Amino acid sequence: MLGSLFALLLTLSAACAQDPYGSDHNTTSIVGTWSSGTQKVVTGPGFADPAQETFVYPNATGVGYSFSDDGWYELARFRYIANGSHPECIIATVVWAHGNYELTDNGSIILTPIGDGYQQVQSPCTGNSNFMQNYNVTEVYMAWRIFTDVTFGPKLHLFQYDGSAVAPLFRLSDQPNMLPKQKLRNKEVTVVTTTRDGLITTETLLSKRKEKRRDAEPHVQRRGWSSFFW
């Protein structure tokens, strides 16, 4: 179904070079707060505290975006990456980032982070099973469309360059739910690179300090992998 939707989009964009979006698009502005699936992953203070490099884990996986009317975006994502041959080695990642977005003339959307994003990785089958990384990935989508779902209202689709679609995003609010639009984590002074068990990671000093504290105080419980399954 998404495939035919996408074919339709391509036809539309080819047909109207002047209007890369097409007439069915634009039922509403992209400005607001959007979330996929069960809509549990939402940007803003309820998800990430960049200064402390912490996350409040949502109750379900998914992705959330907010877009402001002055070109700012925020990303929140919580997902599992399956391992076919070793199901017990499923990897969980939680990501927060923000920065500037651009709606280009050819209909694509470019999300450029400002460099203070971070990611927590829970990887039960590697020696370093729970670590924090810097996350500064530019996202480019070749097209975006907003349709109106009869049940859920405005629905945002982001299309990747390989033609696949990101899970549809439902609008939670026409206002963006965002942390302050400025650098919230000083990654320059905190970066340290380490290699463990063949895994090259860029860990932050803050997360290392937390590890040390945990080692020094055995009564402080380290958040384990098992706490990520409800």
Ligand X SMILES: *[C@@H]1O[C@H](CO)[C@@H](O)[C@H](O)[C@H]1NC(C)=O
Tokens 């945990």, located at residue:
214
Whether 120 contacts 131, CB under 8 Å: yes
Q: Which of 11, 38, 52, 106 lies at the binding interface for ligand X (CB under 6 A)?
A: 106
Smallest distance from ligand X to CB 167, Å = 19
Identify which range of 9-17, 72-80, 102-110, 152-160 contacts ligand X by CB under 6 A.
Answer: 102-110
Do residues 184 and 50 lie in contact, with contact meaning Cβ atoms separated by under 8 Å? yes
Q: Which DSSP symbol is given to 94?
A: E
Q: Which of 5, 89, 90, 184 binds ligand X (CB under 6 A)?
A: 89
- The answer to whether residue 103 forms part of the interface with ligand X (CB under 6 A) is yes
Task: Report the residue closest to ligand X, judged by CB.
Answer: 115
**Closest distance to ligand X from the beta carbon of 227 (Å):** 13
Q: How far is the CB of 138 from ligand X (least distance, A)?
A: 5
- 108 lies in the binding site for ligand X (CB under 6 A): yes
The answer to whether residue 223 forms part of the interface with ligand X (CB under 6 A) is: no
Would you state the structure tokens that stand for residue 6, as one six-digit string? 């996408």
Confirm or reject binding of residue 100 to ligand X (CB under 6 A). no
Q: What share of the chain is helix, strand, coil (3-state, %, to 5)?
A: 15, 40, 45
Judged by CB under 6 A, does residue 38 bind ligand X? no
With binding defined as CB under 6 A, does residue 83 bind ligand X?
Answer: yes
Q: Shortest CA distance to 65 belongs to which of 46, 41, 48, 45?
A: 41
Of 5 and 28, nearer to ligand X (C-beta) is 28
Type of residue at 54:
T
Quick one: which segment of 8-16, 53-61, 167-175, 210-218 binds ligand X (CB under 6 A)?
53-61
